[in-house]
Chains A and B, each alone.
Chain A
Amino acid sequence: GNSVTQMEGPVTLSEEAFLTINCTYTATGYPSLFWYVQYPGEGLQLLLKATKADDKGSNKGFEATYRKETTSFHLEKGSVQVSDSAVYFCALPRGSTLGRLYFGRGTQLTVWP
């Protein structure tokens, strides 16, 4: 079935630094790709998504481009803030079944002022 591999964390950055969190996927066809974020003490929430190859998802200054050539969906932000400290998960639907997302292991991001 479909899967993602996400870079290991934790990642520690200073405020205003550039962020990249790598995610590569293995999939049949071109399923939608997602980044979810989990802030401390909260549930997961969708950060951004891309529904087809070459799409760019963006939200809150974060971006990720669905690249079929490199089977990647790396998350980037040009200037991180302390409030971006959270765990970030790359995800995609598992095969053709409905509602079943496969999540990466998560990358803990800590941003220091």
Chain B
Amino acid sequence: EPEVTQTPSHQVTQMGQEVILRCVPISNHLYFYWYRQILGQKVEFLVSFYNNEISEKSEIFDDQFSVERPDGSNFTLKIRSTKLEDSAMYFCASSEEIVAIGELFFGEGSRLTVL
């Protein structure tokens, strides 16, 4: 069964360092997303991406964050200068249709720990 894969599964970094989280969405999907879940808190939307551009972003997704689809398969989330409060589980997701009709397929997550 096709699945969304994410790497790394866990990354520990120092505050101020750049981090890149990688995702390989399901191959025929057109819509890509990043969500995050701070420990014990809600799953929060960060950004959606379609047709090689951001289609929607939340207030969390500030200038420190960026996304890219550098080739036909990868979808990355970059945090330029990490803060302690960026520590969270980051989930990549993809969908074939707009979410109002279809479903999101999530990866297993990348846990980011900022020290």
Contacts and interface: CB of A to CB of B under 8 A. Distances in A.
* Interface core residue of A34, A41, A99 (most chain B CB under 10 Å): A99
Interface in B1-58: 4, 31, 33, 35, 41-45, 48, 50, 55-56, 58
Interface of A: 31-32, 34, 41-46, 49, 51, 89, 93-94, 97-106
Given A44-B43, A44-B91, A93-B99, A101 B104 contact: yes
B56 to A, nearest CB: 5
B103 A34 contact: yes
Given A44-B106, A97-B56, A102 B45 contact: yes
B84 interface: no
Contacts of B100: 31-32, 93, 98
Which has the most chain B C-beta neighbours within 10 Å: A44, A89, A105?
A: A44
